[in-house]
Amino acid sequence: MDHSASDSETDDYKQPLLHRNEDEDIKRAPALCSSRYSLAILSCYGFFVAYALRVNLSVAMVDMLNSSSSNNVNSSVCLRHNNPPRPRHNHTASVYDWDSETQGWILGSFFYGYIITQIPGGYMARKYGAKWLLGFGILGTVIFTLLTPVAADLGAGYLIAVRVLEGIGEGVTFPAMHAMWASWAPPMERSRLLTISYAGAQLGTVVALPLSGQICFYLDWTYVFYIFGAVGILWFILWSLLVSNSPTSHRRISEVERTYITASLKNELSPTTDHIPWTSILTSVPLWAIVVAHFSYNWTFYTLLTLLPTYMNDILGFSIKQNGMLSALPYLGCWLLSMGGGQLADYLRETCLFSTVAVRKAFSIIGMMGPAVFLVAAGYTDCNYTLAVIFLTISSSLGGFSASGFNINHLDIAPSYAGILLGITNSFATIPGMVGPVIARSLTKSNTIVEWRTVFFISAGINLFGAAFYTLFGKGTVQPWAVQSLHIQ
């Protein structure tokens, strides 16, 4: 038993050298104008659309509400920062008298649909191909986004139903994309390609938050859904015409690139799509290490995503609705560090010969412990608004390093089943989005700085636990059960 564990660890630390020796016999295909990097850019656009459609409602909701139903607008713990008022344009869109509980259900309903299709999405992507599953998943979200104004006019219940359906459509996106990258991403380029791909999520948030506010001001809130919906339809057309499930079925890929990708993956992919080793998957300790890390990271991420406006308004006395760029600043930092981190991670693995497991763990530690430290620090800035914003921005930004850590580790340990594995981990990682903010609000009923410190300490503690668990049990090599049929030969 001990000997086996030792061998496994040794394999983890040998992996970069093995890949390097194999790659010496494979002609490296240029990255410029390549099909694999075109896929990364198009999928980045796709996740931009997905996240823009996810967050735009939180901004539009401000204009969707009857202003007379707002309360406690002028109350905050710290002295309120008032921006000069801007003249209001004449808007003709409807407004609604939804109480805070109804607003909570509308904003949270997305996640109840989102969690449903995580595991089925990974299974279907492996069984039937990822291209159309991901394409129609986002297209479905686009269609229901375009129907949002109609649903809102019909009633809150219809809007909640539409948001649940949007969540169901988006639930397949990450598992499907992971399944597609299993066939497209050479091992030594995984960090680069996947961080480019998934950076669209942060970019969508960065653009959608301030732009939605401007659209609401100059047009009205209905155009938030129409404009982003149109952007999504354009993406679907490009995706349909330019993307293929694998290099072997791509019509425009060069023979050099096709050979490079397939040769670099030949020892990692299972040759059959029929057999799925569910028992081995569900009892895999390295997978559960990713589950714990993903759950822990998302607890802090969703707490900030949903409650940062409340903290800024109720404690610091500044409504980030008045400054869209400020609200997007943490996600801009996260996007920049995730992109840079992807380049650095692959450089460390390929050029400096660091093991995959060492890189994944190091980036996860930075991407989870860093946010924990600065989140707690933000709770002790009291009414120093500038310092609080700086600490919260650094906290979110450092989380970008996790994109090259546990977040893509599924492809390291079981590329053939990466979509299914991501569906499993993302199911658990969606739970914080549903319960984390609820728990946080129950702990901050009086909206005091001390109560918010408790929320930050809990989030930081969960993050530190996730980082420690992943460091102890994470792996960086393909697990035996993921390619068992290859060893029969």
Joined together, the tokens standing for residue 444 give 């901050």
Our count of domains for the chain comes to 1
Determine, yes or no, domain membership for 421: yes
Number of Cβ within a 10 Å radius of residue 317: 18
How far apart CA 316 and CA 322 sit, in angstroms, is 14
Q: Give 10-residue mean pLDDT values along the chain (489 residues).
A: 41 42 59 89 96 86 70 62 60 82 82 91 89 96 96 94 95 93 90 92 88 86 95 97 92 90 79 76 96 94 75 72 70 90 90 92 96 93 87 92 92 90 93 83 84 93 96 93 58
Determine, yes or no, domain membership for 93: no
In-domain check, residue 80: no
Cα separation, 394 vs 336, whole angstroms: 12
Tracing tokens 């354009």 back to the chain, one arrives at: 234
Write out the residue range of the structural domain in which residue 323 sits: 2-72+98-488
Residue 89 inside a domain? The answer is no
Helix (H, G, I), strand (E, B) or coil at 393: helix
- Whether residue 240 is contained in a domain is answered as yes
Q: Which pLDDT score, from 0 to 100, does residue 7 have?
A: 42
Q: Is 104 contained in some domain?
A: yes
Position 152 in a domain: yes
The whole-model pTM stands at 0.82
Within 10 A of 294 (CB to CB), how many other CB atoms are there? Answer: 26
How far lies 180's CA from each of 124, 138, 177, 247, in Å? 12, 15, 5, 10
Distance in angstroms (rounded) separating the CA atoms of residues 355 and 19: 11
Token reading at 104: 């909570």
Please tell me the predicted confidence (pLDDT) of residue 61: 82
Find residue 96's DSSP bridge partners. Answer: 65
Give the CATH number for residue 190: 1.20.1250.20
Q: What is the pLDDT of residue 86?
A: 57
Quick check: is 84 in a domain? no
Give the model's pLDDT for residue 81: 67
